[in-house]
Amino acid sequence: MPSSTCHLPNGNSFSVTPVFGGVNFKSNDLNLHHSAFPPGWTVAIHTEKPVDEGRESHSDTKQDGQGKVRQSSFKQPTRQNDCIFISSISNPSSMDYKPPISPSRQIAMMLWATLWWYFHEPEPDLHLPATAASAATPVSGRPRGDWRVNIKREGIFQGRNMMQKMERMGLIANEDSSVGTESIESRAPASWERMFTSRRSFWQLDPRIFLFTLIPAVPSLSASSSSPMISPYGSRPASPNIDFFRTGGDGSSAPSWDQQHSQTHAQNAANGPYTSSSHLPTYYPPPPTQYIFANGVRHPLRPRPPHQGETFYSRYIPSVGQYLSFRVPVLGPAKPKSNIAPNCSSLTVPRINSPPPGPSDLDYLHKWMNDPRVNSSWGEAGPREKQEKFLVDGLSSRHSFPVFGCWDGKPFGYFEIYWVKEDRLGRNIGHVGNYDRGLHLLIGEQEFRGPHRVPLWLSSLVHYCWLADFRTEAVLLEPRVDNQKIIGYLTDAGFYKEGEVSLPHKQSAVMRINRDSWESPAL
């Protein structure tokens, strides 16, 4: 039975209900103002399997160049036999919202959300059918193929050049990379009939390319209507919004973390990486390469990392029923400033007007670093001033930046994401790419430890590295050689041991994962 709920990384969620020949997506947001999606749409989905000659039946359908296939209703994913297309859209009232400036971009957004739901379904058997060469090989040892879903040129995809536009956005592909002999004016070129999307390529698409919001038809609509993101009934978001924890303007104290835990989620999504006051996608491609020298190493000039307090990654994890997010920690409360409404962009963060009543990021770091378990690896135990200097150094680094991991907004660990080439690891191993990334790991909260959570946050960190720069081809870690537990976790997550390196303070195993061997984040 297909999943009945689709949780998107921007906090929106949709009910997915079976209908004749497919499924219907319906928004769970009670108030559609500022929603990134129309109220709903219907997706036709079925499974096609080839039919051997002489075994046809009345239900078989002829596919051009594909032979005969038998259609059946979709029950669970198959490796390459599922076919989908969007058959209809439920658009909001034109009295409330202007039509999208680019209808094809809105269609791409809905297809992306549909694929997000589809690739959260249980993985099918990826082993290829037996051939003469593999007939004697046990099933577990047979070759494996990619998980693909076919995108049919039917329904709203029949629009002129619609499939071509979806391909240019990277959503769909075709193995035929030739120019073709048909005229560009042809409304039904044969090469566009059977496009596909693979799981591997889908998870390397940045969601910010596709998520945007509709523009209110009346300017006062957005000001007078509460957003679903700040409603206690809205979808849970990315990470805590610092302003939510400030002392109220009437002098009353802000609610405690536990009392307002669920409301915090809804408030924060409005300041996540997917919102923009311009109602346009927030994705920007990485800048062109420029080279500089640092400590005798020639490396690309690095773009600025996210700002303090900025949430740069968010994803709902169905196996634990929580949102996982990563944000940059905040060093300390800023000086009071005038209460200016923030520009809701992924490139800006809300102004901090007064210190939060709960633990600060520095409090968390001080607590974690003084845990004997953590100190045995990091060696940063000591007074608060020592962790403050540690965080200042991290925020001031030009080749790395500090990260807080959060489950449903609550910090659970500290990480560092760095560029390997100018790091001491790169200087010691020598053979690294210009855009290879490295990770340092620390799990501080006991309640979020355990082998069932490691693949979730570890694969998400790797996922972010792929999304942040498409030129990144590898992610590396250098755990101490005697830390067999973390080496085992890394191996289970797809890393392999490339060798060892002697650093001044430890002997490290060089663990590596390559983009071309990575499938998807853990769900």
Per-residue burial over 321-349, b = 16 or more CB atoms within 10 Å of its CB, e = otherwise: ebbbbbbbbbbeeeeeeeeeeeebebeeb
Distance CA 288, CA 514 (A): 22
> What 3-state class would DSSP assign to 16?
strand
Strands (E), 303-436: 311-317, 322-327, 400-407, 410-419
Residues labelled as active-site residues: 478
Residue type, 255: P
* CA atoms within a 13 Å half-sphere pointing along the CA-CB vector of 352: 18
Neighbours of 66 (CB within 10 A): 12
Characterise 45 by phi-psi region: left (phi > 0), alpha (psi -120 to 50), beta (else). beta
Q: Are 379 and 391 a contacting pair, CB within 8 Å?
A: no
454 exposure class (CB count in 10 Å sphere: 0-12, 13-18, 19+): buried
Distance CA 362, CA 341 (A): 26
Q: How far is CA 73 from CA 77, 121, 247, in A?
A: 11, 16, 55
Closest listed residue to residue 260, CA positions, set 274, 243, 277:
243
